[in-house]
Amino acid sequence: MSIEIIDGANDAAIADWLADRLLVALDKAGPEGIAISLPGGSTPFPILAALQGHPIDWSRVAVWPGDDRIVEEASPFSNVGRIRALLEPLGARIVALEEGALPPRFALVWLGMGEDGHIASLFPNTDPRADAGRAVIRLTPDPLPPEAPFDRLSLTIPALTDADGLLFVIRGGSKRALFEAASLGAHDLPVARLLAARSQPVTCFA
């Protein structure tokens, strides 16, 4: 399946793209609606804010974080807390990660990527596998990122690739080069393992 890299899109353009995909997915879905997965970090939230102006029936959207720090939801380090504050008032159902949870098939999984090639909280030291037996795992990044030194919960590669489409938003030339190398199978970092395991189209805004 294809990997499309789109250069130079601003937050509003990415929000427009997301809105189009969500509206199409909702139109095809039954009364239960759809599920999507969103990343944490600083990049998604201006895009999600721009998405609020689109006519999406959020009451039919369940939102899962792709990963989260193991902190109270009120903490500024909580991905699910920030997602809940932004999208729950619009009617979305926000699902906090728990060990042993069984995620649905996602209409869209949106991922970021670190300079070390990690996706969600699947850091290189965690040796993520495409045949992982669990959908949600608890793990400890090594080294712990100094800006967020917490244990994590993360969807695994099988859960992240159980989706109709994958989206990446990547900022910076070094990350783009790492992503392009991953798409060619030029290394074995977590992002490359995910791309090798997927069976759906990928869109990457760089």
Look at residue 185 in the predicted model and tell me its pLDDT: 93
Look at residue 146 in the predicted model and tell me its pLDDT: 87
Residue 189 clears pLDDT 90, i.e. is over it: yes
Look at residue 145 in the predicted model and tell me its pLDDT: 85
pLDDT tens for each residue of 88-122:
999 999 999 999 999 999 999 999 999 999 999 99
Look at residue 147 in the predicted model and tell me its pLDDT: 86
Look at residue 41 in the predicted model and tell me its pLDDT: 85
Look at residue 161 in the predicted model and tell me its pLDDT: 98
Query: In CATH terms, is domain 3-205 a member of 3.10.110.10?
Result: no
Look at residue 148 in the predicted model and tell me its pLDDT: 87
Q: In angstroms, what is the C-alpha Rg of the chain?
A: 16
- The pTM of this model reads 0.95
**Where are any strands of DSSP class E within 57-165?**
61-65, 67-69, 93-94, 108-111, 136-139, 152-155
pLDDT tens for each residue of 163-186:
999 999 999 999 999 999 999 999
Look at residue 86 in the predicted model and tell me its pLDDT: 95
Provide the mean pLDDT of the chain.
95
pLDDT tens for each residue of 30-84:
989 999 999 988 899 999 999 998 999 999 999 999 999 999 999 999 999 999 9
Strands 67-69 and 152-155: antiparallel
For residue 163, the SS3 value is: strand
- Whether the CB-CB separation of 104 and 35 falls below 8 Å is answered with yes
Instruction: Give domain limits for the chain.
Output: 3-205
For residue 35, which of 7, 63, 59, 12 has the smallest C-alpha distance?
63
Look at residue 1 in the predicted model and tell me its pLDDT: 73
- Whether the CB-CB separation of 85 and 121 falls below 8 Å is answered with no
